[in-house]
Chain A
């Protein structure tokens, strides 16, 4: 064993141990954050924060079906009671009036601070007269039963005013005392996790707690109706948990399937376990190096990146195949084998550089997931190629010999002749693909971020159904107000409310919610408190105000007492809301993040099914600009996220084009012949076009992941094209049939590796698989068809 060999093997082992240590200590995540872009603008950051940590990201919707109404209500109450005692949940609501009494006491006690109609004018003689007249008239309405008992202490009707202020425009239907769907067939609960929506471990525990509570409640009762009931859970935290489970599960399952398939294939070719193991060395080295590089570069490794690791098998296993198959007839360690390895190395090096050019274009992407894939591929391919070049020959035993694959190569050569005869077909394929793509150019790219969502459509439909059951369809239009302190933000919310009221009267918008309704700003509270007259004055004014009314001022002494108490009561703070259901309402609309307070004012359309028109949005924007200049933004979640995704798609397209240009420049520099470069690039471009057209014909519009798949076609296919190019020019290229055989085997492993991915449940992986598997095959066929001279068969 030469010293050089020892040094190489030692260096490699050392590097692998280091990489293994890094891989073992790395942080892994499988949430969707990799596909939420690093947001450049504040509005986009708000959007991403909303998706990741917003109230909706913490909300779990629970439904109970089957059994009968009594059984469902019984289960609903039991689950709610169990979960209310669980610290993992901040709120649990099943429609039971658990905090009703406390809520009523709170609103009643603080009605003069909370009511929007409390102004100095309200407490003048005219104001009191109008308000009391109003209240008396309302006694004849169905609400009169309540109003009647309140009249002596609250003749101006502030309690009902506050109730109306806070009343959600639509309330869930109630059946047997708990929330239910409109038809009563499902009992409904809403639970909000205490942890952030991005904490998937917490989400998993929360979902388990819900299932456990249901199971326990079912066991505790055990009547047939209760046992017949079923639990449904949905919501963003569950989606995140399931997505992570799917990604984990798929990464393992697909890795195993494709590894087994590739190992079987290689065993059939090599017929030797030691050779097989040697052949897998570059693959495992590359995977270790890739994960280690990502862990070092990003601090956290995404599950998608790991799953992507198996796709790297497809390309890096090729290197050892080329080495083993093409070095046949030249025993390892001999001068001949070193020479052949050097020649082979030149082609592989160029192939690696081509791939690196392609993947380097992903590095600047604002999608962390894509940047990770880029870094992983670059590090993995370089490591795999380096191991193939420097370590494998040193490890190959002296008597190393793979099976003679010349018969396979000969067969391939005969096929090649036929294929070349049909090469004119390629121009038709090219024309058809270009025409198809041109005709479909508007539907070419899917601009919907949801296309990347790993949540199945069925789960999304259940979520939408339960939201509708709750009378709370997803709101997509928000006014977002942010500021450094709570009071500033509340003030801004109040100014905005005043600006929005005329738009509600004009039916431009239907209604809106605001955190300031639950907790008015200190300034507003103080102003309301200051508009309350002292008892003496109030008594005098009441006498004048009720002179012509059906109620006598003497009956209203409780009112004078309440006002006197309100005049000296302290103003409300956030802490005062605790223990009432208004704390939940407030928390859903106000976030405290990164030392900033962010209020969300959901806008409800005037007609439930119709989104506000563009002109309405313009009116809204100018109203906001007047009311809270620089503090408020109008945010449409759907259009904002789609616009964001569209910008990343076009970014990725630009980057890919740059990557392609870099590949062409690289080839021009190394091959020094535009004609040769054209012959190398043409089959790759053709394969990409054909696959894109086929995908479109299959009814799929392309996402950013298909684009990555196309980059992979170029990366893998460039090796084929370069080998065909070399076969023609380099007389030391090894025997041509062996080259052909190695290309066939390499292609088969790639098609198998990616073909397995195409069957994944994760849209991201399926998109990659369905693009690369046919693309790699076409790249081989097209490269063969376009290769120039027929390979000459040297004498053995």
Chain B
């Protein structure tokens, strides 16, 4: 009981901070940033390095455009995912890929400050303060757990700094988000 009283205020504070963070994120209409990604794959001897740019238009459109070493892009627009690589374009409906869709959704919903959407798929833990925060997302669905174990997003106020995805097989990727670029 006492313990509960001790924990409750801090938990409530975290809840409040999460709400405030979400409200802060929701204010952003557009975003254009550079990114650097390191993929740590068991099959490879050393991490794979790639870089490119991210585009965001509130609330439903997000594009990850990889420029090096291989140009490729993935665009999420509402429910439609467009994949482009090696001159081939695939258009698929997000809801038809229940295993992969949440991974994309984690980034979109965070950028949009859409707490409801996030909580549908993940169990959210907020740590730190608005100045320096960390969101840990753990899939609720067991099927999705078979793909990704955990997603971690670090940021400062309304800027995302790193996105770490730990896959079920132990491979992981760390995306470091750079400064804002002109739209």
Contact = CB atoms under 8 A, between A and B. Distances in A.
Interface of A: 134, 136-145, 148, 151-152, 164, 167, 169-171, 173-175, 177, 550-552, 555
B171 to A, nearest CB: 7
Interface stretch (B13-21, B66-74, B122-130): B66-74
Interface size class of B (residues with CB under 8 A): 20 to 34
A140 B85 contact: no
Contact of A136 (B44, B64, B171): B44
A170 B85 CA distance: 15
A143 B83 CA distance: 9
Given A138-B72, A143-B72, A167-B88, 12 more contacts: A137-B50, A139-B39, A140-B49, A140-B69, A141-B70, A142-B72, A142-B85, A148-B171, A151-B43, A174-B92, A175-B93, A175-B96
Nearest to B85: A141
B48 interface: yes
A510 to B, nearest CB: 12
A141 B72 contact: yes
A164 B91 CA distance: 14
B37 A140 contact: yes
Nearest to B147: A145
29 contacts: A136-B44, A137-B70, A138-B72, A139-B41, A140-B37, A140-B48, A140-B50, A140-B66, A140-B70, A141-B74, A141-B85, A142-B72, A142-B85, A143-B85, A148-B41, A148-B43, A151-B43, A164-B88, A167-B88, A167-B90, A171-B90, A174-B93, A177-B96, A550-B45, A550-B46, A550-B48, A551-B43, A551-B44, A552-B45
A639 to B, nearest CB: 30
Contacts of A136: 44, 48
10 shortest interchain CB distances as A-B pairs: A140-B50, A141-B72, A550-B44, A137-B70, A142-B74, A137-B69, A174-B96, A550-B45, A550-B46, A140-B48
Contacts of A139: 39, 41, 44, 48
Contacts of B100: 145
Interface of B: 37, 39, 41, 43-46, 48-50, 64, 66, 69-70, 72, 74, 83, 85-86, 88-93, 96, 100, 171
B155 to A, nearest CB: 23
Contact of A144 (B39, B45, B93): B39
B85 A138 contact: yes
Contact of A171 (B43, B69, B72, B91): B91
A141 B93 contact: no
A662 B21 CA distance: 95
Contacts of A152: 43
Contact of A141 (B43, B44, B66): B66
Contacts of B48: 136-137, 139-140, 550
A148 B43 CA distance: 8
Nearest to B83: A142
Contacts of B88: 164, 167
A175 B90 CA distance: 15
Nearest to B80: A173
